[in-house]
Structure 1
């Protein structure tokens, strides 16, 4: 897939923040603003969920997004659709090439099934999502729980699909300094788990920081 660079200068961003390796991040991107996730050291999987800002009932839908674009991978030009059929975000720039929306988030259960029983206790993206949602709920006095989780995007993650329709977790295709950038088509709450996974090659078994940036409406 063709790589498309952004014309936006990080020095003009209204918000810049480093998300530490293995940690969650949650914030709001207003309509028309640009939102970038920068892979600082390369091949770091960034599990991400999107919600309509005024109600978590409307959220990113992998099924609707895949059906609408006729492609299981995400890249520049992809409209990220909600479960109500509305466009939450549009990917406007991408220097990685493609992103996964099938592999889901690692969890205690998947760590056990995919790897070993003694991996169950290891920190996971599902844990990160629940921690961030709990903090968000306390801040805004909302009742938020695991029922508010849905299928997520794995930015920068390489999950090839075999001819038999099975998913495989392969070495990443990103590199230091690559990024994906989106335009918010409505006010959107973004929930990120900067994946802490240590058991598959998607991040070379070494979680690293990423940076998030937001620009004013263009």
Structure 2
């Protein structure tokens, strides 16, 4: 097992960011069950390159993400690969809740009066975090929601799956190029909990094992092999 470089617990209704170097992995652990981690990815050298959800899904012929899938930028490069996922389903379509939606569901609380028990929303928390890098509203793309599942029926109606993630479930992302990772632990916009869910996650950074020729993420689709080749050519000129 790879040795942790650092580990930290991020409370619910929080946001954070860090640049993860290529060859390192982030592991997320749902501490109590029912967590949600919204994620966006950017090239730290050129933030105009960012995670592209449509390309990620269509090139791997999938609606969900899980072990064996890769997460693409809008330049055809792979930010990271999903090398472990206890939940079997990472939401790609649910997006972020805004202030209006959170207030309608759980009532209004603000930081000035309620401190860490305020009702933060995913959209505003992401805006606060990307602003640290000179980014704004136009830079928020479609995001991932770890530990959450949104499924579609035969008519295309979407529904949120309750209790999808259990306490102790883990998801590990292996980063293939240097990546700015922006995250929020605010609740999923389709969460129907009666009370605002403050669900913490543990996040740890570790050194990744080398990517071998028969790596499951690399070989799961011909498109992924091309994505890794794009990474190789990009990194050889970096």
Class of the TM-score when normalised by the shorter of the 2 chains: 0.7 to 0.9
Give the deviation of 1:199 after TM superposition.
7.3
| 1:60 and 2:51 are equivalent in the alignment | yes
Give the deviation of 1:196 after TM superposition.
4.0
Residue 140 of structure 1 corresponds to: none
Residue 42 of structure 1 corresponds to: 33
Q: TM-score, normalised by structure 1?
A: 0.83
| 1:133 and 2:130 are equivalent in the alignment | yes
SS at match of 2:87: coil
- Judge conservation of contact 1:24–1:128 (CA < 8 Å) in 2: yes
Size of the aligned set, in residue pairs, is 201
The structure whose Rg is larger is 2
Distance 1:195 1:206 in 2: 8
Distance 2:25 2:81 in 1: 10
Give the deviation of 1:125 after TM superposition.
0.3
Write the mapping of 1:100-115 to structure 2, written as runs, cut at 5 A. 100-111=91-102, 115=104
The RMSD of aligned alpha carbons is 2.4
| 1:153 and 2:182 are equivalent in the alignment | no
SS at match of 1:215: strand
Structure 2 residue runs without a partner (length 5+): 111-118, 210-238
- Judge conservation of contact 1:124–1:197 (CA < 8 Å) in 2: no
Residue 235 of structure 2 corresponds to: none
Give the deviation of 1:117 after TM superposition.
11
| 1:123 and 2:120 are equivalent in the alignment | yes
Residue 166 of structure 1 corresponds to: 157
